[in-house]
Amino acid sequence: MIDIKTAFEKQKQKAVVAFITAGDPTLQDTERYIELLQESGVDAIEIGIPFSDPIAESHFIQEADLRALQNGVCPDDIFNLLEKIDKKVPFIFMTYANPVFFYGYERFFSRCQQAGVAGIIIPDIPFEENAEVKEIAKKYGVAVLDMVAPVSEKRIQKVCQQAEGFVYLLSDMGTFNIGLESAVKNAKQVTATPICKEFDSTVEDAVKIAQYTDGVIIGSAIVKIIAQHGANADAELKKYLNSVVKAVHSVK
């Protein structure tokens, strides 16, 4: 597997992490789109394992999960797909506690190792309760990435002190919002782990976020393009990704 830290070491440029839902519209399309993502110059790829109740996702990703599940996509299908892909960047899973638990922690992270998946994000396991998962994942060289909302300096520093891979900074929320720039500064006081944040959709949004963070995450924007064009999204994806990657990589 390719270590996540390599995504942030390319000439010290800002990283682009691209998300795609596995199996939407089909696994064959996902395989082709993953190759397209790598060719576009993204620095890491986040693979969404479809789940029936993805509470932390936008409605676009929720709908993509539903389409994939209706196609019968399961974790074994995704592992089998990733095992045959030639990886040029780090691969990270985005999923929920239920699929991992029922697959079996040891079995799941062993398959991650075999498939070359370097990290995982599990948003419904709180930071205070993820020690067991982190311990087992570590045996197989898989980093469990933490998510944190910019609501308080104390919370940010508590989570970031033990962060690995990269810190997933959530969208602004809460009445005690301290802002993106302050949130990143607070995190940097206690960790050298890179900080990344998802942006809405436009290149301008990505550039603004990259000015403060170590990287940006393209989530719903990719899923929207695939939802609109299905198996024929190649040209639109390439055009969009090239514009984002070029702009973010130029941010100093």
Q: Residue 123: which of 203, 217, 43, 214 has the closest Cα?
A: 217
Q: How far is residue 130's CA from residue 32's CA, in Å, rounded to a whole number? A: 33
Please calculate the CA angle 13-15-18 and round it to the nearest 5 degrees: 155
Taking only the tens place, the pLDDT of each residue in 157-169 is 888 998 999 999 9
Residue 17 has pLDDT above 80, yes or no: yes
| pLDDT > 60? residue 24 | yes
pTM > 0.75: yes or no: yes
* Whether residue 127 has pLDDT greater than 90: no
Highest CATH level, class, for 4-249 = alpha beta
Q: Edge-to-edge strands of the sheet including 44-48?
A: 143-145, 117-121, 91-94, 44-48, 15-21, 215-218, 195-198, 167-169, 147-148
Q: What average pLDDT does this structure show over 170-196?
A: 78
Distance separating alpha carbons of residues 160 and 186, to the nearest angstrom:
9
